[in-house]
A and B are shown apart, each in its own frame.
Chain A
Amino acid sequence: MVSTKGYMAGLRVGAGFAAATAVLGLTFGAQAHSLGWGVLAPIAASVLVFSGSAQFSMAAALAGGGGLGVAVGAAALINARFLPMGVAAADAFKGGRLRRAVEGQALVDASWAAAHLGGGRFDREKMIGATLAQFPAWVLGTVVGVLVAPPPDVVTRFGLDVVYPGFFLLLLIDELRGEPAARLVAALAALTAAALVLVLPVGLALVGTAAAALVGLRAGMPA
């Protein structure tokens, strides 16, 4: 029987995400190259930042004439969700503060969600394995995007923009199966996100969505 826990399970689930990650990386590389970033800067951004949403926000802010402050602010807002995600998974990581800070770099949306065991517990090895599978795909996708520079509509034309929300949707379905309290939380989170994203940047809307988790207190989420 194939294990659903540990590094190998993480590598397997990360490999599933890797194709989508590579396509997104390709899109980022092509977009950054078209904005005059050259070859090295987009690749360095993908290696150093390793966050698609933050990199796209940074590129859009710079392209829109915003300076360093605007670009950093946009990227920070979109990545603010890593704070509650890191708090949730904090006790899964091992060692002293420096080691936990390094291991915390495995916090990637898909890895974090896939590593959730239920009840607020996380599989550290699965999260790290899933991220190890996605990192090279992200960087390689960026390299190809910079060098090949495909047309900007390649993602939408081939329906590839379904892949990321699709994976998140299926992980959500797994979370909701057999857990009525989680369904209530998800319903409230949907309403909260739908309203907040109208008036706030996506990153802040996500942080606000996390507040729906407070309902878990009243709804009796199993700890």
Chain B
Amino acid sequence: MSTLWATIVVVAAVSISLKAAGPALLGDRELPAWTSGVIAALAPALLTGLVLTDVTGPAWSHLDWRLCAGLGATGAAYLLRAPLLPSILLGVVLTAGLRALI
């Protein structure tokens, strides 16, 4: 088996294991009461991390103000009660337009 195929197989096994670990090992256990507040906070914490690291990239190397402007427009439109998909589309068009112009 080549290095490429071996890597694909091992990465697949690791990825499947990481996804399976929580549900398989903890799904039938009663967690201590104090954990519920932490678990409730995981969604806003991880979503914030996903947005920020998507924008910055490793070591802030991908930061692009035109992307930030598009994201800002997306967020503002949604806060002003625009539906989800049009809000995203606004950000896409604004970012593409800024990149075409500047």
Query: Using a CB–CB distance below 8 Å, which chain A residues touch chain B?
Result: 16, 37, 41, 44-45, 48-51, 54-55, 58, 62, 67-68, 71-72, 75-76, 79-91, 93, 97-98, 100-105, 107, 109, 113, 116, 118-120, 156-173, 175-176, 179, 181-183, 185-186, 188-190, 192-194, 197-199, 201-202, 205-206, 209-217, 219-223
B residues adjacent to A (C-beta < 8 A): 3-12, 14-16, 18-29, 31, 33-34, 36-60, 67, 70-71, 74-75, 78-79, 84-85, 87-88, 91-97, 99
Q: Which of A50, A76, A167 contacts B18 (CB 8 A)?
A: A76
Q: Chain B residues with Cβ under 8 A from A168's Cβ?
A: 47, 50-51, 54
Once bound together, how far apart are the Cα atoms of A75 and B25, in whole Å?
A: 22
B21 touches A162 (CB 8 A): no
Kindly list chain B residues whose C-beta atoms are within 8 Å of the C-beta of A87.
22, 26, 39
Distance between Cα atoms of A76 and B17 in the complex (Å)? 10
B98 closest partner in A (C-beta): A159
B6 contacts across to A, CB distance below 8 A: 68
Tell me the complex Cα distance, A223–B39, Å. Answer: 8
Asked whether, in the complex, the Cβ of B23 is within 8 Å of the Cβ of A101, the reply is yes
- 7 of the cross-chain contacts (CB-CB < 8 Å) are A84-B42, A165-B51, A165-B67, A173-B79, A192-B49, A206-B53, A209-B53
Q: Given the interface contacts A120-B36, A170-B84, A197-B56, does A206 sit within 8 Å of B50 by beta carbon? A: yes
A37-B4, A120-B40, A214-B38 known; A169 and B75 CB under 8 Å?
yes
Min CB–CB distance B13 → chain A (angstroms):
9
**Across-interface contacts of B26 in A (CB, < 8 A):** 86-87, 90-91
Dominant SS among interface residues on chain B: helix
CA distance A179 to B6 in the complex (A): 46
CB neighbours of B37 from chain A (8 A) = 120, 216-217, 220-223
Question: Of the candidates A76, A105, A171, A221, which one forms a contact with B40 in the assembled complex, judged by CB atoms under 8 Å apart?
Answer: A221
In the complex, the answer to whether A100 meets B10 with C-beta atoms within 8 Å is no
Q: In the complex, A113→B47 CA distance in Å?
A: 7
Given A166-B74, A173-B78, CB of A75 within 8 Å of CB of B24: no
- Is A88 within 8 A of B39, CB to CB? yes
Residues of A within 8 A of B59 (CB): 197-199
Chain A residues near B16: list those with CB within 8 A. 105
Say whether A202 contacts B74, CB under 8 Å: no
Does the CB pair B70–A159 fall under 8 Å?
Answer: yes
| A103 and B11 contact, CB distance less than 8 A | no
Which residues from A are CB-within-8-Å of B67? 161-162, 165
Report the minimal beta-carbon distance from A207 to chain B, rounded to whole angstroms. Answer: 9
